[in-house]
Every structure is written in C-alpha cells, then in structure tokens.
Amino acid sequence: MTGELVDTPEGPARLSVRRPAGSPRGTLVLGHGAGGARWTDDLLAVRDVALAAGWVAVLVDQPWRVAGRRVAARPEVLDRAWLSLSVRFGETEGPVVVGGRSAGARVACRTAAQVGAAAVLAISFPLHPPGRPERSRAAELGAPAAHGIRVHVIQGRTDPMGSPEEVGAVLPTSATLDVVDGAHSLERASAAVARSALGRLEGTARGVGGG
C-alpha cells in the first residue's frame, strides 16, 4: 500500500490518507494487527465506508512493518510511534476517532486520551492470549472511559482471544459492543464490521458518545 513515510522515534511509519470529496466530517485513524504484511479486508471495508460517509480515513503502518520485520514491536514502542504521529491526526475539522484491529485496537485504547480522540473503535480486541484468560488486558480496554472517551468494540462470536461474553463482562458502562460472525479474523464478516463501524462514526458525528 502506498502512502507517505513519516519519521518517528522508532523509524519511519507510513500514513495512507484518503479524503472525501467534500468538507470532512472528521478523521478516522486505524492501526493494523500484529501479524501479516497487508491490510485485512475488514479494516479496508471500514476505511471505505468511512470515506463514503465523508470522513478522512487514515491507515497507519507501524515502523516495524514498514521495515519488513515479521514480529511486532513491544507495546511501549508501538505507542511511541503512534503518539509521534498524532499531531497529524487532527489536521482536518471535526472529531478524531482512533482504532484498529487486535494490537492496533490496544494501541488506540492506551493512547486515546493523549491524542485527544473523541471515540475509539476496537475491532477484535485481544482481551487475553488464547487459553490464558488470567492475563487480561481489561485495564487497556477500560482506559479511555477514565477520560470520558467511549469505546465501541466489534468482536467475533468465537474469538479465542476474548469471547463477546468475556469482553462484555469487563466493558465500562459507557462502552458498546457489537458481535459478528467469526473468530479473531473477521475478514469474512467485513460487511458486518463496516456497518457496525459506520454506526459508531455516525453517532460520533452527531455528538453521541464523543466523550
């Protein structure tokens, strides 16, 4: 995927920006997961519906992936790179919604307050490693709510890294959850993921759930 290379403290990242034809309603910034060298169909579907609805859509390739490495960087490294790019997120008028899938969703939750996000879109949030529910990341999922930022989670019905029941049990009361068919990969449910994301964006544009 082509885009602009931007220096970060962790090396160059790539910003792929698409802008709507008219005045933007806001900006949606999405981060990828920890595996693979391509953007998954579910995230691309979310980007496309956001763009069609009048949002600037930004995909962020983390430095480790731009460099061609196969293993994702540590959480603190991902956060530093993301935060150094955040000055670019609010270049248009309107709210900024941050999100991503899996590891990208974790980054968005951890840094939402620092980047001034209006909302977080968490796709396939990895609540725990497979088979290790005791290693919960519930604190990350709940972090935005502590700053009045609402989170919308889109979770696969059979996700081994956090079932909808597990995720629902730890969600802040202000957060919302949509369940779609699939496990951790939701590529076959791309249309359903995009519909859910669009509903969240529409609510944020109307000032609902913006914090």
In a domain, 211, yes or no: no
In a domain, 97, yes or no: yes
Name which of 56, 62, 60, 61 is nearest 28 in CA terms: 56
pTM over 0.85: yes
d(CA 26, CA 90): 8
In a domain, 36, yes or no: yes
Q: Is 104 left (phi over 0), alpha (psi -120 to 50) or beta?
A: alpha
34, 123, 125 from 156: Cα distances, Å: 17, 9, 9
If one counts the domains in the chain, the total is: 1
Contacts of 77 (CB under 8 A, 6+ apart): 10, 64
For 166, the domain range is 4-128+135-205
In a domain, 210, yes or no: no
Give the number of other CB atoms < 10 A from CB of residue 38. Answer: 9
Residue 63 sits in a domain of what CATH number?
3.40.50.1820
d(CA 173, CA 175): 6
d(CA 39, CA 113): 25
Segments of the chain scoring below 50 in pLDDT? 208-211
d(CA 152, CA 57): 17
In a domain, 162, yes or no: yes
In a domain, 75, yes or no: yes
Lookup result for tokens 């969703």: 105
